[in-house]
Chain A
Amino acid sequence: MKKLLIFTAFLSFSLLSFSQNRTLPKVDLKTLDNNTFNTSDFDNDGKPIVISFWATWCKPCIKELNNIAEVYEDWQDETGVKVIAISIDDARNMSKVKPKVNALLWDYEVYCDPNGELKRAMGVGSVPHTFLLNENKEIVYQHTGYKDGDEFDLFKKIEALSK
């Protein structure tokens, strides 16, 4: 009961400062060559960044990234957006990520989060979960799940940012 009280108090307190934009947490990821890469080095020269959490076993995730891949060139020409795909695959599938990304012809920046650190730090429960970052790398929009056509809404938000 005491624990619950503390928790509730904390929750209500947290809501007070909830209104501001969240920045990206600083977490170490793995590149596809197993090097370490920190999220604070994500960069797109002040243009929007899309971060999409996916896994090799997740069908909607691959569908989302495949569908964006079809229009990615146009998106980049029009808004300068960069898509970063974060694989949450653990050791079981991590070795499949690089061959898969290459075979699917994805031109995204791809990193692995095998220990789920970024996933936890960004409140990602189930995948796919996609974030949009503005020029200050603050999270301005996010959505979970993927339905065909969701990319149109995402693109509208990217366009609004790049104006």
Chain B
Amino acid sequence: MKRLTIIITCSFFSFITWAQDNSNGTIQGDFNLSTQSYYEDPAINAEKVDEFILMNAYSNIRYNKGNFTAGVRFESYLNVLQGFESNFNGNGIPYRFAQYNVNGLDITVGNFYEQFGNGLIFRSYEEKTLGIDNVMDGVRLKYSPLKGLSLKGFVATQRLFWEQGPGIIRGFDADLNLNEAISSLESSKTNAIIGGSFVSRFQDDNNPVFNLPENVAAYAIRSTVNRGKISFNTEYAYKYNDPAGGITYNNFAPGSALMTNLSYSQRGLGIMLEAHRVDNMDYRSKRGGTGKELTLNYIPAISKQHAYTLAAFYPFATQPLGELGFQGEINYTFKKKSKLGGKYGTQVAVNYSRINGLNGGPSELTINRDHTPMFFSVINEELYFRDLNFDLKKKVSKKVKVMLNYLDVIYNKDVIEGKIIGKNVHARIGIAEVNYKIKPKHTLRSEFQYLSVDKSEEYYKDQGDWVMGLVEYTFSPHWFFAFVDQYNGGYTSEGKTYEAVHYLNISCGYSKGTNRFELGYGKVREGIFCVGGVCRNVPSSNGFTLNITSSF
């Protein structure tokens, strides 16, 4: 690893030197720093940290000249912020690569991110704010032997904090655009793309009791068909048995996933319908891995991703062990000068999603995984999640814009968080946002959000009701000031009573071009946080925060 870093670094130098004869190539990079101090705060379960200040930082540098690109990322966690795994502590260069293209053959050595199809059997990605980075390390080739056909293949291991997972992963993917490949279809109104992928993991079997397969494969086939306003996309994936090994129950069942979505859209109107069925699809580069570690595949959640803080309070996460989900969404714009559109037009959206467990299938709560769930059933299945939400955006006058949101959510805490409560949470959330343009570059924005949980016996009250208010003043292009308060009225859980608490937070920021500084103080509840014109995921905390981002 160290030697490869040196070789790649040297190759940078030589390329740069070589390049100076004619043109220099280009260099580009970014820098990101988050630091925070922590205070002990029993009211929100915040603990004091010994270091007083914690820090996450990283910087990417890329060099590109013609068909050659190389890059490194330096990461520093001294020590890692709360809410992230402590295994990240330290400094290092976990990402370095060189990539070049020779007559259409694209070669990457070192680290790379890749995704096959929708990611059902393979997706390597990073999401720094969530502490996810399962980058691959090895060799990847991409080639297009004829028009419309693209091939990808790789052999690599996967990042696990500062080390690599035990599995060797081999993958191959092909994508064929029929209209480009077959000349007689070129002018066809129907456009079709088909694709397939294969991934296999090798890991030694050292288990004295079970005879575990050392090679575990998965494959997927997919297609996309477009005709005029209609678009249809589907993918099926199958995973051969991948026993967790060394544990007492039998887990020799194979896995499968089927996802499909249909959309219709024309100017002013968009409709999307989606469904998926997932069964035993936890696939990692380590047999029986847990948590966020070493995940090889990604099954997209079938619910809407909300950006308002309280709307994102009860988010759904795909249950790779098994689920059956549906989602539908309609987006519509009432035209300007129409009855409902008014002077400036009105944008509305309705979204509904529902996710159930598989009948006879496994879940966090049923231990037996040697199973044959029913393919499709609407009775006796456990409800995992349901969300019905409305969204309205309206410009009322030259100066005022209003946004309204309403959600009705049922959330199965048992399954989604792995906690045994026995009842679902039923929450209703209402949000109003008003933008007031004081002068062309001065805007006052305020949000009022209310989350109310169903108090009837049938439902779990969780942490009770929440109220949130936000006032933000922006002065384009440089400054913003924001004041947020999230208030919880107090609740009793597992015999313990929690006092009412205000999560007060004040922040301000300055940005110029791509340099952005943000200073905050106060208490923050974890979740998606949009302030000062950007959205981020934040863990809960109490203290000072300083974030600096830059790119060039």
A interface, CB within 8 angstroms of B: 2-4, 6-7, 9-11, 13-14, 17-18, 20-23, 25, 33-36, 56-60, 90-93, 95-96, 98-105, 114-117, 120-129, 141-150, 152-153
- B170 touches A (CB below 8 Å): no
Q: Which of B28-36, B241-249, B286-294, B450-458 contacts A (4 or more CB under 8 A)?
A: B28-36
Given A92-B305, A115-B115, are A14 and B513 neighbors across the interface (CB < 8 Å)?
no
Q: Are A18's CB and B267's CB within 8 A?
A: no
Among candidates A25, A93, A128, residue contacting B69 with C-beta atoms closer than 8 Å: A25
Instruction: Point out the residues of chain A lying under 8 angstroms from B208, CB to CB.
Output: none
Q: How far is the CA of A60 from the CA of B534 in the complex (A)?
A: 6
Chain A residue at smallest Cβ distance from B318? A92
Among candidates A36, A98, A125, A141, residue contacting B231 with C-beta atoms closer than 8 Å: A98
Nearest Cβ in chain A — how far from B331, in angstroms? 3
Q: Are B263's CB and A10's CB within 8 A?
A: no
- B25 touches A (CB below 8 Å): yes
Nearest Cβ in chain A — how far from B403, in angstroms? 9
Q: Are A91's CB and B272's CB within 8 A?
A: no
Instruction: Point out the residues of chain B lying under 8 angstroms from A93, CB to CB.
Output: 300, 305
Chain B residue at smallest Cβ distance from A3? B93
Q: How far is the CA of A156 from the CA of B188 in the complex (A)?
A: 43
Chain A residue at smallest Cβ distance from B474? A147
Q: Are A57's CB and B305's CB within 8 A?
A: yes
Given A2-B2, A96-B329, A120-B60, are A146 and B272 neighbors across the interface (CB < 8 Å)?
no
Q: Interface majority SS on A: helix, strand, loop or mixed?
A: mixed
Q: How far is the CA of A35 from the CA of B193 in the complex (A)?
A: 8
Q: Are A116's CB and B270's CB within 8 A?
A: no
Per-residue CB contact flags for chain B residues 145-182 toward chain A (1 = under 8 Å, else 0) read 00000100000000000000000000000010100100
Chain B residue at smallest Cβ distance from A28? B150
Nearest Cβ in chain B — how far from A39, in angstroms? 12
Q: Are A59's CB and B272's CB within 8 A?
A: no
Q: How far is the CA of A34 from the CA of B2 in the complex (A)?
A: 39
Given A10-B72, A13-B13, A91-B300, are A146 and B93 neighbors across the interface (CB < 8 Å)?
no
Q: Are A145's CB and B307's CB within 8 A?
A: no
Q: How far is the CA of A25 from the CA of B264 in the complex (A)?
A: 33
- B552 touches A (CB below 8 Å): yes
Indicate the member of A11, A90, A91, A93 with the most B CB atoms within 10 Å: A91
Chain A residue at smallest Cβ distance from B223? A34
Instruction: Point out the residues of chain B lying under 8 angstroms from A11, CB to CB.
Output: 61
Per-residue CB contact flags for chain B residues 464-488 toward chain A (1 = under 8 Å, else 0) read 0000000000111100100000000
Nearest Cβ in chain B — how far from A81, in angstroms? 18
Q: Are A143's CB and B511's CB within 8 A?
A: yes
Instruction: Point out the residues of chain B lying under 8 angstroms from A56, CB to CB.
Output: 305
Q: Are B332's CB and A17's CB within 8 A?
A: no
Q: How far is the CA of A131 from the CA of B39 in the complex (A)?
A: 39
Nearest Cβ in chain A — how far from B72, in angstroms? 7
Instruction: Point out the residues of chain A lying under 8 angstroms from B271, CB to CB.
Output: 99
Instruction: Point out the residues of chain A lying under 8 angstroms from B477, CB to CB.
Output: 143, 147, 149-150, 153
Among candidates A7, A34, A57, A92, residue contacting B300 with C-beta atoms closer than 8 Å: A92
Given A104-B333, A144-B551, are A14 and B516 neighbors across the interface (CB < 8 Å)?
no
Instruction: Point out the residues of chain B lying under 8 angstroms from A13, CB to CB.
Output: 12-13, 16
Q: Could you name 23 residue pairs across A and B whose Cβ atoms are closer than 8 Å?
A: A4-B74, A9-B9, A17-B20, A17-B25, A20-B24, A25-B69, A34-B233, A59-B535, A92-B305, A98-B263, A101-B265, A102-B331, A103-B349, A116-B113, A120-B113, A125-B128, A126-B536, A128-B533, A142-B551, A143-B477, A147-B477, A147-B533, A148-B437
Chain B residue at smallest Cβ distance from A114? B115
Q: How far is the CA of A83 from the CA of B74 in the complex (A)?
A: 33
- B5 touches A (CB below 8 Å): yes
Q: Are A102's CB and B270's CB within 8 A?
A: yes
Instruction: Point out the residues of chain B lying under 8 angstroms from A129, CB to CB.
Output: 514, 551
Given A103-B332, A124-B551, A144-B516, are A95 and B298 neighbors across the interface (CB < 8 Å)?
no
Q: Are B29's CB and A148's CB within 8 A?
A: no
Instruction: Point out the residues of chain A lying under 8 angstroms from B333, CB to CB.
Output: 103-105
Among candidates B5, B12, B347, residue contacting A103 with C-beta atoms closer than 8 Å: B347
Q: How far is the CA of A22 from the CA of B69 in the complex (A)?
A: 13
Q: How far is the CA of A123 from the CA of B27 in the complex (A)?
A: 11
Chain B residue at smallest Cβ distance from A95? B261
Q: Are A59's CB and B530's CB within 8 A?
A: yes
Instruction: Point out the residues of chain A lying under 8 angstroms from B184, CB to CB.
Output: none
Instruction: Point out the residues of chain B lying under 8 angstroms from A101, CB to CB.
Output: 265, 270
Given A4-B91, A95-B261, A102-B270, are A148 and B443 neighbors across the interface (CB < 8 Å)?
yes
Q: How far is the CA of A57 from the CA of B62 in the complex (A)?
A: 28
Q: How far is the CA of A33 from the CA of B272 in the complex (A)?
A: 14
Indicate the member of B349, B475, B476 with the most A CB atoms within 10 Å: B476
- B495 touches A (CB below 8 Å): no
Instruction: Point out the residues of chain B lying under 8 angstroms from A128, CB to CB.
Output: 533-534
Instruction: Point out the residues of chain A lying under 8 angstroms from B261, CB to CB.
Output: 95
Instruction: Point out the residues of chain B lying under 8 angstroms from A25, CB to CB.
Output: 64, 69
Instruction: Point out the residues of chain B lying under 8 angstroms from A2, CB to CB.
Output: 2
Instruction: Point out the residues of chain A lying under 8 angstroms from B442, CB to CB.
Output: 149
Among candidates B264, B306, B514, residue contacting A144 with C-beta atoms closer than 8 Å: B514
Nearest Cβ in chain B — how far from A99, in angstroms? 2
Q: How far is the CA of A6 from the CA of B535 in the complex (A)?
A: 34
Nearest Cβ in chain A — how far from B440, in angstroms? 6
- B203 touches A (CB below 8 Å): no
Instruction: Point out the residues of chain A lying under 8 angstroms from B113, CB to CB.
Output: 115-117, 120
Chain B residue at smallest Cβ distance from A145? B533
Chain A residue at smallest Cβ distance from B393? A66
Question: Within B80-125, which residues are at the interface with A (CB < 8 Å)?
Answer: 91-93, 113-115, 118-119, 123, 125
Q: Are B191's CB and A33's CB within 8 A?
A: yes
